[in-house]
Structures are given as C-alpha cells and as structure tokens.
Amino acid sequence: MKRKTAGHYYTLTFRAQFQHDNDTVYFAHSYPYTYSDLQRYLQVIEEDPKKKQRIKRRELCKTIAGNSCDLLIVTTFGSEFEEVRRRKGIVISSRVHPGETGSSFMMKGIIDYLVGPSLGARMLRDNFVIKIVPMVNPDGVINGNTRCSLSGCDLNRVWIDPSPKQHPTIFHTKALIK
C-alpha cells in the first residue's frame, strides 16, 4: 500500500493467477446490493399483510436518469391525523455514495426492525413518524459508480445548495428534512 505523497494516492495492488484461460472471474471490494435488490425487497414488504400496515412507500423524486428514488414512511397509521401530526419525525438515509453497499444491508436491518412485531418497534411507530430514503443515489448504484452521481458530483458535498436538476435526490431529501 502506498501512502499519499506529492501527487500519489493510496493504492492497493495485487496479482491473481488462474488455472484455466477461459474462466470468467469477478472481483468486488464488497458484496453487492443493487437497485433491483432494493426494489425486490420493498415489494416483498408491501405484499406482507402485517408489514404493509406499518409502512407506506412513496416516490421522493425522479433521478436524473428517470429512476424512482423511494421514500418510506413508518409509523402507526391507524391513529387520528392530529395525533400523527404531533409526533416527532426521524429521517434516515443511506447510499449517497453508491459504493458503500454495507449501508444498504444496515438499512435493510433497520427497516426489518421498524416494521417488525417487537415491542420496541411498536413503541417507535406509536411515537414517531420515521421517513427513510434507503438509496439516495440510485443512478450511481445502477451505473456502478463508487462515489458520484450521473452528474459527476459527490452528492455528499452538495447539501448546502443542491440543484433540483443536477442533484434531485439531495434537493428533495433536504426539503423532507426541513
């Protein structure tokens, strides 16, 4: 591993030898979690008779490529409107950087817990409105980017003044938080 010095950056180099010439081999720095994985997972939750009563799925916005950026709302929905409105809000998001696949697995665990039957999850749903953006950068994930969106921006660096056209998911997530 090289350290950063005058124009050089951290670099990992390795060599692999294979027994057969025509084998197809893939390398990944982490186990993948795709946009399609997320869509299938959310569909399974929506089809579960108990879980679908605890979660609502909406479209936060369309991405630059026209993909849907999902917004999940978790709370006790059977309550009176004014009671729900008085609840404090919690916003959770992940995958601003498309290469951070571990965050999707963590998000899946959070969602599973929040829509699950435990007393703790029920207390959270009864007392809070939890809004989740499980994949803030779907275009980056779909296109295999590690850090950037389709506009070539690191979306984690545009929170102060996001453009609705260049950074729609950050623009709408910021509006959601406000």
User: Cα separation of 157 and 96, whole Å?
Assistant: 10
Strands 68-74 and 55-62: antiparallel
pTM of the prediction? 0.86
**Cβ contacts of 140 within 8 Å, gap of 6 or more:** 95, 97, 98, 147, 148, 149, 150, 155
The predicted-structure confidence for 72-96, as pLDDT tens digits, reads as follows 999 999 878 899 999 999 999 999 9
The predicted-structure confidence for 106-143, as pLDDT tens digits, reads as follows 999 999 999 999 999 999 999 999 999 999 999 999 99
Domains of the chain and CATH, by start: 35-177 (3.40.630.10)
* Burial classification of residue 99, based on how many CB atoms lie within 10 Å of its CB (0-12 exposed, 13-18 middle, 19 or more buried): middle
Buried b (16+ CB within 10 A) or exposed e, 135-155: bbbbbbbbeebebbbbeebeb
